[in-house]
Structure 1
Amino acid sequence: KSTSLVESDIQTNATMADNRTMAQMLQAPIEGYEDAIVVPPINANNFELKQTLINLVQSNQFTGRQDPHNHLHFFNKVTSTFRHPKVPNTTVKLLLFPFSLE
């Protein structure tokens, strides 16, 4: 005679820490975190990105099918041509980068 253990016969006494679902428990915490990429405030008077510079960046938009290294090389080359005494080049790049994506 074989005996089988039926699931209803097993009793487990476990105390749950909370009533969150597994999906909720796997979510990364967002409290106290801000956006990872933030353009710093620009303290220059009359600063603007010229449309010709935006057009130049848009002339080589990244679609996901090109080599990302070549795209970044072109982007860095173009953005290095623009200088403003009171605006860091990294800020210019942060402002222009969305225009380089399709």
Structure 2
Amino acid sequence: FTFFNNILRPCNFWFLLLIDYGTFTLCSLTLVSNDCLLLGLMFHIESQLKILNYRLTRCARMDEGIQSENFIVSGSDINFEYQEHGHDHALNPNKELIICIRHHQIIM
């Protein structure tokens, strides 16, 4: 009589194989889901920083007097510009920065 007598039976082998397979699958899914979560967060932060960079760059251009209502963005950039109607002059860059920061704080 040995301790491994019951473990080494063929039916126990298949039972342990199923347990090992299930454990391996759950561990793999846990690792993959963590990676996907971190990747999604990085994409979200990257897009928010791109939007903030675009808006702050556009704010500085408006302050310098480079105003155009039909500003065309080249490439795959998307127009995320904050628009205030009823103002014909350039916006105050400090006020625009405050509005930009508040907007991104609400998003985050």
- Please give the TM-score of this superposition, normalised by the length of structure 1: 0.29
Flag the structure with more relative contact order, 1 or 2, with Cα contacts below 8 A and sequence separation at least 6: 1
Query: Which structure shows the bigger proportion of residues in helix conformation?
Result: 2
What is the TM-score when the length of structure 2 is the normalising length? 0.28
